[in-house]
Amino acid sequence: MKSFSSSSFAGEHSEALVLARAAVARNPQALFTDFQWFLYEGRDTVFFTAFSTNQYDKEGLGNMVAEMVALAPQLTHGFVGAQPGQPFPKHLLDAITSVELVDDLDGYPDKWLSKSADIFERKDLPLFRVMAAVRRGGPDDQGRASVIQVRSSHALLEGSDSALLTRSAAAGHGVQSDKKNRLPLGDRLKGALRGYSFAFMSILFGTILAPKEQPWGFKTLALERHRLRQLANKLGVRQRSLMFALVTHALNGKGEEKLMSKTVIGAAYTMLDTKRNSSDDDFFRVRALAAKFAVMDDFVDYVRMVDDTVAGIEQKDITSFQMMINSMFTSLRKLNRIAPFLPGKRFWRFNGGTHIVLTLVPPHRTYGPMTHGMIEPIYCGAWHSAANICTFCPGREYVTLNFSMAQRHLVNVDKIVALLDEVEARDVGPHTMTPSVERLR
């Protein structure tokens, strides 16, 4: 994975504050980029959760939230009455934090995971919540005294923010595009035209072809990193490719009753790239890429194909897909200003043929006061109404797989471990690695 940084190319958060005083009074989302606006309108949410040796109380949780806001000032944006960059008064801290006492911590974090629709119910509250469940009898035999969860609108936080906050590091964004690095005019025009066309087609096909709302579910899985590292080396593939392959192969299933596709799995995956340009979003660091994985019954053949596919994509221009997506966000926002009823509700359930989104967030390694007492595994994921999502969250000892997807797919999550066991036991022949084999840091 590419390195990441909280630094920006131009501008400081103070510049946003100057604009905010007038703009936010008229429109709480005025400071949102088009990408942020899209995720806000879609009610996309993200979560971070981990067990802790601490026994949280309301005051302690409020203090932690105050530290979060200081490190990630974007959390002060987007709601009625917001004062961008300013600390929250006590009544807001009380409203967005909660502590409950529980008899045991079994079943967490899965029993907590949801679409987090409550974040958007009150327009006068910040677009995130922090909650803790504290064990009545003190720490259990694993040393866990509580479990904590942060839930937020995806418009405010991305995976790199979560990783930075886990390390008690500043997660402010500034301006993430590089205005000095302008792409050729032809590329920009092509990207804009593709984006506008994609927006129109998405609204049209979304209105006609969007599926009905489906039963949705959430599930987590923790795997030891050393197992993935050893197997990736044995197979001669990237650890990332191994994880992508384990998830898509197991979820799709075997034989004729494949749940996603019998021929090709359409996937979107994300990465961080520090080589920014003028067409990048001014807030988000993440960059999306599209991939197609040919379905194969033999896993070893499949994972090597996935590895070659990923390598081929990233050896080409990795800016074009994200540029088209950003142009789509811009055109949708402009259309919404003219016709607020567009895009309609069905649009948000249309996935354009993408079977799954695979997101590998930067390593989450606890450090400093923000995460004092938190213990691995650390869970981090997202929800979007149209997307089956698997978020991979690496720590020091574990990688967690965080699933948000149609309920019918969750029955195959347990098959991932069985597949891992099976492939580890196989006698696999040598394979020539694709250049620049990537390792999780």
Residues 391-418, mean pLDDT to the nearest whole number = 97
Q: Could you give the 3-state DSSP secondary structure of residue 25?
A: helix
In contact, 267 and 333? CB cutoff 8 Å: no
Structural domain contains residue 436: no
Model confidence band, residue 82 (pLDDT cutoffs 50, 70, 90): very high
Per residue in 214-239, pLDDT (tens digit) is 899 999 999 999 999 999 999 999 99
Residues 60, 196, single domain; the answer is: no
Average confidence score pLDDT of the chain: 89
Structural domain contains residue 174: no
Residues 209, 323, single domain; the answer is: yes
* Pairing assessment for the beta strands 128-135 and 97-102 based on DSSP bridges: parallel
Structural domain contains residue 21: yes
Per residue in 68-77, pLDDT (tens digit) is 999 999 999 9
Q: Is the predicted pLDDT of residue 424 greater than 50, yes or no?
A: yes
Q: Is the predicted pLDDT of residue 52 greater than 90, yes or no?
A: yes
> Token match 């595009």: residue?
177
Q: How open is the CA angle 419-420-426, to the nearest 5 degrees?
A: 90
**Which residues, other chains included, contact 68 with Cβ-Cβ below 8 Å and sequence gap of 6+?**
75, 130, 150, 165, 370
Structural domain contains residue 242: yes
The domain containing residue 20 runs over which residues? 13-166
Last residue of a domain, one of 166, 200, 218: 166
| Between residues 256 and 113, the one the model is more confident about | 113
**Which residues, other chains included, contact 291 with Cβ-Cβ below 8 Å and sequence gap of 6+?**
266, 267, 268, 269, 309, 310, 313
Structural domain contains residue 352: yes
What CATH number does residue 230 fall under?
A: 3.30.559.30
Last residue of a domain, one of 135, 166, 197: 166
Structural domain contains residue 173: no
Residues 344, 378, single domain; the answer is: yes
Query: Tokens at residue 438, please?
Result: 């990537």
Per residue in 276-333, pLDDT (tens digit) is 776 789 999 888 899 999 999 999 999 999 999 999 998 876 777 888 889 999 999 9
Give how many domains the chain has, as a whole number: 2
Structural domain contains residue 283: yes
Residues 200-208, mean pLDDT to the nearest whole number = 87
Model confidence band, residue 20 (pLDDT cutoffs 50, 70, 90): low
Q: Is the predicted pLDDT of residue 355 greater than 50, yes or no?
A: yes
